[in-house]
Structures are given as structure tokens and as C-alpha cells.
Amino acid sequence: MSSQAGGEGRDESRLDIRGDIEEPSTPSRGEYRAGRAGGGGRWVIKIGSALITDDGRGVDPSIINIWVEQMAELRRCGVEVVLVSSGSVAEGMRRLRLARRPEALYELQAVAAVGQMGLAQVYESCFQRQSTHTAQILLTHEDFSNRGRYLNARRTLRELLRHRVLPVINENDAIATPEIRLGDNDNLAGLVANLVEADLLIILTDQPGLFDRDPRLHPEAQLIARGKAGDPVLEAGAGEGGALGRGGMRTKLKAAALAARSGTCTRIVSGREANVLCRLFEGESIGTCLEPVQAPMQARKQWLAGQLSVRGRLSIDDGAARVLLESGRSLLAVGVREVAGDFARGEVVACFDPSGVEIARGLVNYDAKETRRIMGHRSERIAELLGYANDPELIHRDNLVLMIE
């Protein structure tokens, strides 16, 4: 992270993803209700480039100021605001006088680095007029995939909010590689909502919300006012690539599913609506509301479920899949049928049932080479096969999270 401020009976030898860096437990923030008495909770607001730029020709301070005024009003009403903002590439193109968006990753990263300075300057200037300090936070995939860095990022953001500083977050595009990019700021916003345990994630877009089909191809398309985050029916309706192309509705649904793991409600609304943030706070029903299906996961399992990339893949048999889903028990090597990837002990792997559905992910007690040697064998044979035995389980239930219910 780069920041700039303006089991009960556990064997102690067992792999423990908490280690010495486990955070203290915190009380649940409770269910989000717009305009609730006593304060507005914690909101993550994601603004796309199209809503803060002058037709893509760099950020427009006058437009940004309109958003800043709304966020300042939310803060005066007791809302803690975390902002995820796009716009660095557009601003970099303007400053470097580029007519076309670069295609090569290194060119795009250079442009984003130039533009990020301008983007941060505009936000700082506008928020200063509202007597609000901002902090620039640039996150990478490692800040979410590494448990220590994840907890450090969470503590940093909590400390900024404690000081009533408004964090402005973007991906650290200048150093990300194709393999470890977070992808887009919808994804990032969902991860940030999980990270800070937000009450509400607002994704501002150029559409009124989520439709049952692409409204630009089907004039009769109906707005979906309310749904459940992670609902496969909604994902099917979003279409291939989403109604908005890259960073389209499909990515917004994925962001909502990520946020839902910490109990966060998501609103997909039009950024063209006048005073939309304050109207949401007042309780007006705008856009699409996607609610979490289940209670928030405990913090460790939120982190595990939120991993965008995993180091390996385990194909397991029906018996093992049934044990994981119905009994909540550990995964044993005997239930593994195939191993893919090159992973180390303690890294995140995904578990797939015989039909190819990811049902769980967790931290492995053995590396890929060891796992291939012990797969299909009972735990009593691990020492015989390897010459040693770290653990009887391949993935202990404390380090495993189900991806489906």
C-alpha cells in the first residue's frame, strides 16, 4: 500500500493465518439504513471517469466540486466517506497532450502516474474549501492478497477516518503488472468496502441502475429496483461484458458480491441524477439496491473470500465436496483428485467440485509438489509418503471459507 496524507484446541504448530498480526475484534456496524437516526454509517463511494472528466479530456474541477459538496454534506450528517475515484488516465492524457489512450501497459502506467498527481490536487483543493483533509491511498493486489498488508491497510484507513480525514483511493497503476492488476475500480471499490466494513457501497454510473437486459438494445428493458448480491440470475441478465463494456454491469455485480461478504449493501445509481448522494441519505429509492444474502463473514474469512487471484486449484471428489458443504469440516488429501498450479505452503488455493464449480478456498498446509504426492491418500500415510507430516489436513477448516451456500 502506498499512502500520502494532505479454533478451539488448536495445535500451535498448525498454520495460522492470523499469526501475530491478528486485529482485535470490533463490534458489527449493523445493517445499513439510509438516513438512520444517530448517524449515517460508513459509505464507500465509487466515481468513474465519465462522471468527473470533460468528455474524457481530463478531470473537470467544476464537476468534481459538485461531488465534493455532496460528500461534505454527508460528512456533516455523520457519514464516514471513503472515495474510490477513477480519472488518472484521462487527466494524464490531457497533461501530456495525448489524443489517444495508450495501449501498451507501460505507456498507460506512465500516463496514469502523471494524471494521479493532478487528480489528487483537484480533490485536495475542492475538499479544502469544505474544511476537509484528504489522504491519497494507492493500493495494489498485494495489499489484498497478503494478510499482513491487508491488516495494515485496514488499520491505516481506520486511523484516517478516526481523524476525520477523507481517503481518496485508486489502484497503484504505475507498478501493477497484468497478472496482478485489480482489474478496474468497480472491483477495487468492492474490495475496499470489504476492507473497511462499509455499511453502503455506492457505484455511480451513467445508467439509472441495473436492468433486466441492456436498455440500449432493448427499449422495453425494466429497471431492477432491488435484488440480492451474488444472484446468478442478475449476472446472467447483465450479458457478456456487461451493458457498459469494460467496467460494465457485470463488474459492478461482482463488486457488490465482494462487498456483501462484510454485510455491505450496494447501490448502483446514475451519476447524472441531481444531488444523488444526499437524496440517497434522505432515504429516496434511486437506482438498484443489492442486499447481502447472508450475515457478514468473520474478518479472516472475508479476506480469504476476497482474493482475486489464487495460487492453485484443487479438484475434489463428491465425498469431499459434500463434507465441506454439509459438515464444515477440513479438507483431507484423500478427497483430492487433481492439482493445478505451483503454490507454496500457506498460499490460497481454490477447491472445485466434480462439475467444475468453485465451492471453497483456503490456505494449504502443503505445497503443490507435496500435495500431488499425497492426494488420494489417507492422512495416516502422509508421513510415509513425504518422510514427515506437517498436518493431518490439507486445508484446516479454520483456514477455509465456502464460496457457495
Three cell numbers, residue 227: 435484488
Cα 326 to the chain's mean position, in Å? 27
CATH 2.30.130.10 fits 310-402, yes or no: yes
Phi, psi of 223 (to 5 degrees): -70, 135
Which residue is associated with the grid cell 484446541?
9
Q: What percent of the chain has pLDDT over 70?
A: 83
Q: What is the pLDDT of residues 187-246, one digit of tens each?
A: 999 999 989 989 999 999 988 999 888 777 888 989 999 999 988 778 766 654 333 333
User: Mapping DSSP to helix (H, G, I), strand (E, B) and coil, where does residue 82 land?
Assistant: strand
Three cell numbers, residue 73: 454534506
Model pLDDT, residue 240: 44
Cα 54 to the chain's mean position, in Å? 28
How far apart (Å, rounded) are the C-alpha atoms in residues 309 and 347? 11
Long-range CB contact pairs, 125-132, < 8 A, 24+: 125/61, 126/61, 126/64, 126/65, 126/68, 127/68, 127/72, 127/166, 129/65, 129/68, 130/68, 130/69, 130/72, 132/72, 132/75, 132/164, 132/165, 132/166
How far apart (Å, rounded) are the C-alpha atoms in residues 317 and 66? 55
**How many residues are there in the chain?**
405
- Yes or no: say if 161 and 76 are a contact pair by the CB < 8 Å rule: no
Which residue is associated with the grid cell 493500493?
139
pLDDT level of residue 39 (50, 70, 90 thresholds): low
Q: In sequence order, what are the beta bridge partners of 358?
A: 352
Instruction: Spell out the domain ranges in the chain.
Output: 30-302, 310-402
Q: What is the pLDDT of residues 10-38, one digit of tens each?
A: 343 344 433 333 443 333 343 343 433 33
- The larger pLDDT score, comparing residue 59 to residue 404, is at 59
- Yes or no: say if 185 and 147 are a contact pair by the CB < 8 Å rule: no
With a cut of 70, say whether residue 263 has pLDDT above it.
yes
Model pLDDT, residue 2: 60
Reported in sequence order, the residue ranges of 213-311 that DSSP labels E, i.e. its strands, are 226-228, 265-270, 288-291
For 64, residues 6+ apart whose C-beta sits below 8 A from its C-beta are: 52, 122, 123, 126
With a cut of 60, say whether residue 3 has pLDDT above it.
no
Mean per-residue pLDDT, 145-162: 86
Q: How many C-beta neighbours within 10 Å does residue 384 have? A: 10
Highest mean pLDDT among 3-7, 141-145, 302-306, 349-353: 349-353
Q: What is the pLDDT of residues 270-324, one digit of tens each?
A: 999 999 999 999 999 999 999 988 777 676 677 777 776 788 999 999 999 999 9
Q: In sequence order, what are the beta bridge partners of 267?
A: 202, 289
User: Mapping DSSP to helix (H, G, I), strand (E, B) and coil, where does residue 400 land?
Assistant: strand
pLDDT level of residue 181 (50, 70, 90 thresholds): low
Mean per-residue pLDDT, 153-166: 94
The superfamily CATH assigns to domain 30-302 is: Acetylglutamate kinase-like (3.40.1160.10)
Q: What is the pLDDT of residues 310-362, one digit of tens each?
A: 889 999 999 999 999 998 899 999 999 999 999 988 888 999 999 999 999 99
Mean per-residue pLDDT, 77-82: 97
Q: What is the pTM of this model?
A: 0.74
